[in-house]
Amino acid sequence: MDGVARLPADMVVRCYNKNSCDIFNDYPGALVLMTEGAKVYKKAHEALGNQLPAKKRMQHCAHFRANDMCRLGASCRFLHVLMTAQELEERQAARLRRAQQAEMEGGADELAEDED
């Protein structure tokens, strides 16, 4: 995503998980693409003298988080945060576990059919 506007690299962005007021991660601004939501966060951050805005609880865009894309693009009111290397590894591991589980469940169905 080279060439896409982002928040300032030295800005710390606190991003809450979807539907959560408790679970969050802090990201460097360089990982946050410029959306309407990011602009709101930046304005609140700057108004507080570059401090974390405690009352501005911004959340991940569920579509961008799950699919690496959002049909609203820059007009989205949520945060489009690029995944860290660790988050990418965790996502790949979770997908692999789901695929293995589905394969095992499918294999169990095939065994049951063979027994009939």
Domain boundaries, the chain: 12-82
Question: How many other C-beta atoms are found inside a 10 Å radius of the C-beta of residue 28?
Answer: 16
**Do residues 57 and 40 touch, judged by C-beta distance below 8 A?**
no
**Do residues 34 and 78 touch, judged by C-beta distance below 8 A?**
no
Per-residue pLDDT of the chain (116 residues; tens, 9 = 90+): 678 899 999 999 999 887 788 889 999 999 999 999 999 999 999 998 888 887 778 999 999 988 889 999 999 999 999 988 888 888 888 888 888 888 888 755 554 555 54
